[in-house]
């Protein structure tokens, strides 16, 4: 067996893990982000030294990236214990910040909470959405290389027919995150000019065509290992995004934005009915002749082509979620309601997912069926609710500390804001300028998300071509993974320092 065949067999015929374990691993980064924010505030009590960009990058890398590398590899069996440990440490940090508070020092805790709930927020974006997109990008980047090493748990890799592997969430989560900030949701295009919006959306995908064709040409020319049942012979991630973007742009012209959830439900129900009562499922799994043929364009790429219907559903669900989250809200108490609402909906989706898996069909990334779409949406909403709750806790810590500055977090303003120009800020005016060009790894990765993903794919390929990943020791694999993530993050970070944003969508 050749090296290529060995690597392909190493990532094939896997069955995944439990939904609970994937959810725990997915929400763990939210606690890392909160821990980073609380540490920044706590350190401002101890010293007020302004760090250089190198120091800030290293701090973010050590707190946000390194724990995820370890969690997906050597400590994968202790995700719950890791999360519990981080939460306990955050409770201690929050208590220390409360004890050292410089605002409302002699006010009882009940009064402090009452005043906090009346605080307004001033933000040009939603930190939770930015952190969601970055979390998904980082986890995906780590996994696409780690999966080629023996230290990566096989249960986290992509499943063959049915199941929920940690890597199965990647593409669905990215599409959901892209939909939440799509131009239609952000009202980037002029209201009433839907066809102008459609024209610009169609034009925006042309770079992805070159990326998809370029990836196809490189993979075939160098004989790089491929997992054919992921997308097919010629199809890849970029082609899926192109088709999803084209279809959803047309749907958003035809249907009102606030009815996106109805479109999503309609598409996935019809698709699932087709899987259950037509030969469509057999076609996806075994080809037109029932023996797994790859002859002909459809047979060769049947997984990638047909599964786009499921990803269109996920995109439309993301549009509806983005509309809800990006609604204009001023008060902290309103955002608490949003976080609780998302958490309640996520739990409801998980309950419905269990019912669907028992009575209809199990989760299948290969088909992107009803259960798969429900799982992606439920997991996304759970992660968003955790990130929102983390933002709220971090805002409370900032509320207690005069002059607290944390990148990628809400700015707080006093109430009642009779005039926005004269509203009293709880933080120095310099923070506004600092936040806009913040030396923050989260900001850098969010602004160049697809570039970071493309760079990660290139460096993953280089590592696989230069070394035998299958027979690497645990220590060597950890070193390579850490260096790989360090380079990818550093390049993206420096790009952001120079004010360059490379967008493909």
Predicted confidence (pLDDT) per residue in 287-331, tens digit:
888 888 888 888 889 999 999 999 999 999 999 999 999 888 878
CB 321 within 8 A of CB 180: yes
Beta strand ranges found along 181-227 (DSSP E): none
Residue identified by tokens 């094939």 is: 12
- Tell me what pLDDT residue 81 has: 94
CB 479 within 8 A of CB 159: no
Confidence of residue 64 (pLDDT cuts 50, 70, 90): very high
The DSSP output letter for 63 is: I
Render pLDDT for 150-207 as a digit per residue (tens, 0 to 9): 999 999 999 989 999 999 998 999 999 999 998 888 876 555 566 776 777 777 787 8
- Tell me what pLDDT residue 62 has: 95
Q: Pick the residue with more confidence: 272 or 411?
A: 272
Give the distance, in angstroms, between the CA of residue 137 and the centroid of all CA atoms in the same chain.
6
- Tell me what pLDDT residue 283 has: 92
CB 86 within 8 A of CB 30: no
Q: What is the mean pLDDT of the chain?
A: 87
Q: Pick the residue with more confidence: 358 or 421?
A: 358
- Tell me what pLDDT residue 284 has: 92
- Tell me what pLDDT residue 415 has: 44
CB 264 within 8 A of CB 175: no
Cα–Cα distances in angstroms (integers) from residue 180 to residues 323, 326, 339, 504, in the given order: 7, 9, 16, 16
Q: How many CB atoms lie within 10 A of CB 340?
A: 13
CB 373 within 8 A of CB 388: no
CB 48 within 8 A of CB 185: no
Render pLDDT for 382-404 as a digit per residue (tens, 0 to 9): 999 999 999 999 999 999 888 77
Structure tokens at 476: 């060597």
Q: What are phi and psi of 369, to 5 degrees?
A: -80, -170
Q: Pick the residue with more confidence: 330 or 60?
A: 60
Query: What is the three-class DSSP state of 152?
Result: coil
- Tell me what pLDDT residue 187 has: 74
Confidence of residue 430 (pLDDT cuts 50, 70, 90): very low
- How far is the C-alpha of 267 from the C-alpha of 306, rounded, in Å? 13
Cα–Cα distances in angstroms (integers) from residue 424 to residues 225, 331, 335, 417, 419, in the given order: 59, 15, 21, 8, 10
Say what angle helices 370-400 and 79-99 make with each other, to 10 degrees. 20
- Tell me what pLDDT residue 49 has: 54
Confidence of residue 23 (pLDDT cuts 50, 70, 90): very high
- Tell me what pLDDT residue 10 has: 80
Render pLDDT for 253-276 as a digit per residue (tens, 0 to 9): 889 889 999 999 999 999 999 999
Q: How many CB atoms lie within 10 A of CB 200?
A: 14
Confidence of residue 417 (pLDDT cuts 50, 70, 90): very low
- Tell me what pLDDT residue 422 has: 40
State yes or no: pLDDT of 487 exceeds 90: yes
State yes or no: pLDDT of 333 exceeds 50: yes
CB 302 within 8 A of CB 283: yes
Query: What is the three-class DSSP state of 183?
Result: coil
β-strand partners of 120: 331, 413
Give Cβ neighbours of residue 431 (< 8 Å, ≥ 6 apart). 405, 411
Mean predicted confidence (pLDDT) in 205-225: 82
Give Cβ neighbours of residue 478 (< 8 Å, ≥ 6 apart). 69, 70, 73, 74, 151
Render pLDDT for 221-250 as a digit per residue (tens, 0 to 9): 877 777 788 888 889 888 999 999 999 999
**If residue 135 lies in a helix (H) or strand (E), which one and from where to where?**
helix 127-146
The DSSP output letter for 156 is: G
Confidence of residue 421 (pLDDT cuts 50, 70, 90): very low
Mean predicted confidence (pLDDT) in 24-47: 89
CB 322 within 8 A of CB 126: no
- Tell me what pLDDT residue 489 has: 95
Mean predicted confidence (pLDDT) in 445-462: 90
Cα–Cα distances in angstroms (integers) from residue 184 to residues 82, 122, 201, 367, in the given order: 39, 22, 9, 28
Structure tokens at 458: 């290139």
- Tell me what pLDDT residue 416 has: 40
- Tell me what pLDDT residue 194 has: 65
Which long-range CB contacts under 8 A does 465-472 form with residues at least 24 apart?
465/222, 465/224, 468/3, 469/7, 469/148, 469/149, 470/3, 470/6, 470/7, 470/10, 470/148, 470/149, 470/150, 471/150, 472/149, 472/150
* DSSP secondary structure, 236-257, as one string: -HHHHHHHHHHHHHHHHHHS-G
What is the percent of the chain with per-residue pLDDT over 90, rounded to a whole number?
A: 54
Query: What is the three-class DSSP state of 12?
Result: coil
Q: How many CB atoms lie within 10 A of CB 47?
A: 8
- Tell me what pLDDT residue 137 has: 94
Render pLDDT for 365-374 as a digit per residue (tens, 0 to 9): 999 999 999 9
CA torsion angle 166 170 172 173 (round to 10): 100
- Tell me what pLDDT residue 468 has: 87
- Tell me what pLDDT residue 374 has: 97
Would the pTM of this model clear 0.95, i.e. be above it?
no
- Tell me what pLDDT residue 504 has: 54
Residue ranges of the alpha helices (H) in 255-402?
260-277, 280-286, 297-300, 302-306, 308-325, 332-359, 370-400
State yes or no: pLDDT of 427 exceeds 60: no
Beta strand ranges found along 15-137 (DSSP E): 120-122
């Amino acid at each position: 067996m050749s090296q290529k065949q060995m690597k392909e067999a190493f990532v094939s015929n896997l069955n995944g893990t439990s939904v609970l374990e994937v959810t725990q691993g997915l929400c763990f980064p939210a606690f890392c982000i909160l821990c980073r924010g609380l540490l920044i505030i706590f350190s401002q009590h101890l010293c007020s030294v302004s760090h250089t960009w190198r120091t800030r990058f290293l701090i973010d890398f050590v707190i946000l990236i390194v724990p995820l590398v370890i969690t997906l590899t050597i400590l994968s069996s202790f995700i719950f214990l890791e999360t519990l440990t981080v939460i306990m440490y955050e409770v201690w940090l929050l208590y220390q910040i409360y004890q050292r508070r410089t605002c409302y020092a002699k006010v009882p805790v009940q009064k402090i909470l009452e005043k906090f709930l009346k605080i307004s927020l001033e933000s040009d974006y939603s930190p939770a959405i930015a952190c969601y997109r970055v979390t998904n990008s980082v986890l995906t980047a780590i996994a696409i290389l780690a999966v080629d090493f023996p230290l990566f748990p096989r249960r986290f890799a992509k499943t063959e027919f049915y199941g929920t592997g940690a890597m199965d969430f990647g593409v669905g989560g990215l599409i959901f995150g892209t939909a939440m900030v799509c131009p239609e949701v952000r009202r980037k295009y002029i209201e009433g000019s839907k066809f102008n919006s459609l024209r610009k959306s169609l034009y925006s995908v042309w770079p992805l065509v070159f990326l998809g064709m370029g990836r196809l040409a490189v993979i075939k020319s160098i004989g790089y290992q491929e997992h054919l049942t992921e997308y097919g012979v010629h199809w890849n991630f970029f082609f899926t995004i192109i088709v999803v973007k084209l279809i959803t742009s047309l749907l958003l012209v035809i249907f009102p934005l606030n009815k996106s959830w109805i479109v999503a439900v309609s598409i996935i129900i019809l698709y699932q009915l087709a899987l259950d009562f037509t030969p469509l499922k057999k076609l996806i799994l075994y080809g037109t002749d029932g023996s797994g043929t790859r002859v002909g364009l459809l047979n060769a790429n049947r997984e990638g082509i047909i599964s786009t219907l499921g990803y269109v559903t996920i995109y439309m669900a993301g549009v509806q979620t983005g509309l809800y989250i990006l609604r204009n809200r001023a008060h902290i108490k309103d955002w608490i309601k949003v976080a609780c609402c998302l958490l309640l909906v996520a739990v409801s989706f998980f309950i419905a997912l269990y019912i669907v898996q028992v009575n209809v069909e199990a989760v299948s990334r290969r088909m992107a069926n009803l259960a798969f779409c429900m799982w992606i949406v439920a997991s996304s909403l759970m992660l968003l609710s955790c990130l929102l709750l983390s933002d709220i806790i971090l805002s409370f810590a900032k509320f207690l500390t005069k002059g607290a500055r944390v990148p990628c977090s809400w700015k707080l303003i006093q109430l009642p804001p009779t005039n926005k120009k004269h509203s009293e800020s709880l933080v120095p005016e310099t923070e506004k300028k600092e936040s806009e060009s913040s030396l923050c790894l989260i900001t850098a990765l969010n602004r160049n998300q697809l570039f970071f993903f493309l760079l990660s794919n290139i460096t993953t390929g280089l590592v696989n071509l230069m070394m035998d990943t299958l027979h690497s020791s645990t220590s060597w694999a950890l070193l390579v993974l850490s260096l790989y993530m360090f380079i990818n993050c550093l390049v993206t970070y420096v790009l952001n320092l120079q004010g360059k944003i490379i967008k493909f969508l």
